[in-house]
Amino acid sequence: MTATAVPVPEARVSWDARQWSRLLVLSGNMLLDAIEVSVILIALPTLSARFDLTPWGAQWLMSGFAIGFAALLLLGPVLCARIGRRRAYLGAMLLFGLASLAGGLADGPALLIAVRVVKGCCAALTAPTGLAIINDLFPEGPERRRALSVYSLFGAAGFTAGLLLAGGLLEADWRWVFVFPAPVALVLLIAGAYVLPRGQGGGPARLPRPGLLKRGALPRSALGAACLNGTYQALLVLVVFQLSEGFGWSPWRSALALLPACVPLALSVPFAGRFIARHGARRLVTLGALFPFLGYVLYLARPGSGSYALGTLPVLLLVEAGFCCAFVALNAQATAGLDPADRGPAVSLYQAAVQLGAAVLLPLVALLLTYGSGPRPAAALVTAVGALGLVAALARRPARTAP
């Protein structure tokens, strides 16, 4: 859940090959970042067995990426202001590729976790910087909205691609899960050095003002997004261990089983702007919190038991329905009513909250899964946080006169 674009259907626009190549390079990075999350998800049981890790120990491979992402996200604009967006973007992409190679050569979990933190820091630079470059390259209006639609679509599709890649790579060797991003990052680095325009300055350095967290719908949007992303990733960790240890499924079969939790989002993102225009962001955000909460309640009633078709699949479909409703609507609601000068810092705060949701909840859920009496305590925590997200969605801000 890293895209910040709000796709809105517009009149047809045409670009030349150079504009398309720039957009595809920047969107390719979004694809790679999303893959980084889902590919490790499927690999958790394999890596847990390989290094004799408990779920508590293995989850750091997931939360480490979120921790690195959240830690550097707010400082990214300052770094870009000092060295330029293009240089920051290409430098982070190079470090991302080198970290991937280091992960493939690692012989212990400590180095693998460190690699994941570093890659999260790189993603904290490349994702928002790429979005800022898109805003510079494409004029406001139909062109920019179409570009942001493509950018969002790549991010949504990346999670699905990561599941399928993990299923195949783990059949060969677990090291390929860490190595495969290196050549992809190299291609994006070379292409970016060739097509991205020079002179991409970052403007004046500006950290987000804490007062922004009291503005408009940003506080409840950030809280709702943190709950949604944190519970989503935590539930998938619970399900992956259930499929591997409880059902005895292979990584490839587990990857296929999780497709209902990601494919609908990739299919719905291009139409998100139309949904928001027709139904309103607030209604979609509320449904986006309600559906996952119902899924978590269903999972809590029968955690780790029953068949996949009658037990796990309905839960995944309900949670994914929430993502389809709220993924873009939360982004739109977060910056609605803010001054243009405050929207960039507000997006940084919002995305930091998204990553913190996973960084905080994943360790807690894994701790309960490891030392609790079965999966029910962990499922109860996920359900409680899902309820908090629903409360945030239903909360109404005080009425004020529009400027």
Report pLDDT digits (tens) over 160-216. 999 999 989 998 899 999 999 999 999 999 999 998 887 655 555 566 666 777 766
Which positions ≥6 away from 282 have C-beta within 8 Å?
333
What are the CA-CA distances from residue 368 to residues 59, 296, 300, 365 (Å)? 12, 16, 14, 5
How does residue 346 score in pLDDT terms, banded at 50, 70 and 90?
A: confident
pLDDT given for residue 339 in this prediction = 72
How does residue 400 score in pLDDT terms, banded at 50, 70 and 90?
A: very low
Mean pLDDT of the chain: 86
Write down the H helix ranges in 51-108: 55-58, 60-73, 76-83, 85-105
Q: Is the pLDDT of residue 261 over 50?
A: yes
**What counts of helices (H) and strands (E) characterise the chain?**
17, 0
Residue 74 backbone phi and psi in degrees, to 5: -75, -25
For residue 184, the surrounding DSSP H or E stretch is helix 181-195
Residue written as token pair 């293009």: 86
What are the CA-CA distances from residue 306 to residues 129, 241, 298, 312, 366 (Å)? 45, 15, 12, 8, 21
**Residue 307, burial from CB neighbour count under 10 angstroms (0-12, 13-18, 19+):** exposed
pTM exceeds 0.85? yes
